[in-house]
A and B are shown apart, each in its own frame.
Chain A
Amino acid sequence: MTSINTVYRDLRKTIPVLTFARKREVKDYLKLYNIDLATGEYRCKICGEIIKEENDVGILINDGNSISLVCNKKSCMERANFLKIYETL
């Protein structure tokens, strides 16, 4: 079992690198990270719905190994917290 101290130690090592971008920049970032929404592979990390449109992307998370998306529904944007996003990765 992972001890609480291990969790703390790992957390102290995690640093969120934040980028505030405009909605119109979604396309550029998707291109930058080679994300093709048309494949239907990307689901919202919070509600689980497939994200098909660029306009539906609210948050993009890249932990170095994988890329996750959160849709821009108000409820999902509220529930997604960049400080605790590690819990969902």
Chain B
Amino acid sequence: MKLYRFLTLPDWLRAVVELIWNFLALVGFGTVIYAISKLLKILSIFKEIGKIEDTYSKARNFIKDELSDMAFTINYLPSEIIVEKAIKGEKVLSSSLRSCLKRAVKQITRKRYIQVVIFGDMTYPEQLAYVIKKTFEAVFPFQKVLDLDLRRSLVTYYSYKFALSSEELVGRETIDLLEDELKKSPHKDMLVKLDSKELEEAITLNPPPEVRPLLDRVIIPILRLKSQELSDVTDASLIEMTKSEMYNLLQKLAERKIAILFVGQKTPDEYLAYVREKINWFDGLLICSRGLWVKTHYILEPELSTIMQNIHLTEKLATKYFEGDLLSENNETIHHRYTYMYVNSDAES
């Protein structure tokens, strides 16, 4: 309301006051617009920075939910990350206010900060892909059981799989980056096969309690057991031999040359019947059990070895064992046993 209208003013003064009044109104309006645009800019920076932090949290949850046999590894990862500065195009996304607030809140809970500055002219999608890949790298400590290429492929495969499941958060460009990287991987086809339910259905001799790809259900636990076994080993020849053995196992599984038997609550006779029915189609057998069912596994093993030996009368059979305790997400130990019986082609020659 223009209050000066109620005052008795000469016409010229009224005109001047009105002019000043209108000018001030315009300045006020401009200030409000400027403040709103600044606020929106700050919110947009918060959103973009927060997206990288959310990507890490979501990748952690993905490991917990989808990679159940690796869920315990999230205990080794920081509960969260704070992003202080990121780059998007020519823009620098930085908010010291946000960072200070977050740190102040965490200070109450006595958190310890490690400032990490990563130099590199990464694009925004590359920064997201970097965080995703580092998260999966941290949960696959298979340096002594998988060669570098295969390890990289495994990390890229899971990063891509996660990114696909979180397209809304990470964006199409990040997915494309990871997809491109996966395409270049020499082991892509093998990993895709190992992660398919079709392969699981095709090579599993007994109806499994649940249909879940072998990569997560069998291969990752075997890699973990072998990694644990070799944790203190420094003998390069043993490490390289193990890498080669693990690669052969993965390749034969992907090529459907090895059958799988999941030992569970059925009777040993039922399992023997399943094996006798289909084992002729395969060159090897991988018996898998965990927890209580390891006992049944022990009972079955000699019988299954005899069956395999009878099928491959003229060939030399070899057996490998992967056994040990693995931590669950709740830090409970679960005993695992995997017996791999296969035709040893080296012995034949």
Contact = CB atoms under 8 A, between A and B. Distances in A.
Contact of A16 (B82, B86, B119, B137): B82
B135 A19 contact: no
B119 A61 contact: no
Nearest to B120: A23
Contacts of B114: 14-17, 61-64, 82, 85-86, 89
Given A12-B79, A58-B120, A19 B113 contact: no
B331 A81 contact: no
Interface stretch (B70-78, B180-188, B301-309): B70-78
B214 interface: no
B66 to A, nearest CB: 18
Contact of B116 (A17, A25, A26): A17
A59 B138 contact: no
Interface string A8-31: 101111111111111101100100
Interface string B261-288: 0000000000000000000000000000
B117 A15 contact: no
Interface string A30-52: 00000000000000000000000
Contacts of A19: 83-85, 115-118
Given A20-B122, A20-B127, A81-B137, A15 B113 contact: yes
Interface string B189-210: 0000000000000000000000
B134 interface: yes
Interface in A55-89: 57-64, 72, 77, 81-86, 89
B329 to A, nearest CB: 12
Interface residues on A, range: 35 or more
A84 B114 CA distance: 11
A67 to B, nearest CB: 9
Contact of B112 (A13, A21, A59, A85): A13
A1 interface: no
Nearest to A58: B119
A9 to B, nearest CB: 10
Name the residue among A4, A12, A13, A18 with the largest chain B CB count within 10 angstroms.
Answer: A18
B116 A61 contact: yes
A8 B78 CA distance: 9
B118 A17 contact: no
A26 B138 contact: no
Interface string B105-147: 0100111111111111110000100010011011000000000
A29 B120 CA distance: 13
Contact of A21 (B77, B85, B106, B110): B85
A57 to B, nearest CB: 6
Nearest to B327: A4
B85 A11 contact: no
Contacts of A23: 119-121
A62 to B, nearest CB: 4
Nearest to A63: B114
Name the residue among A21, A29, A77 with the largest chain B CB count within 10 angstroms.
Answer: A21
B150 interface: no
Contact of B77 (A10, A62, A63, A83): A83
Contacts of B76: 7-8, 11, 84
Given A14-B113, A62-B115, 7 more contacts: A14-B78, A17-B82, A20-B127, A21-B118, A64-B112, A82-B81, A82-B118
7 contacts: A10-B112, A11-B75, A18-B82, A18-B118, A21-B85, A22-B87, A82-B118
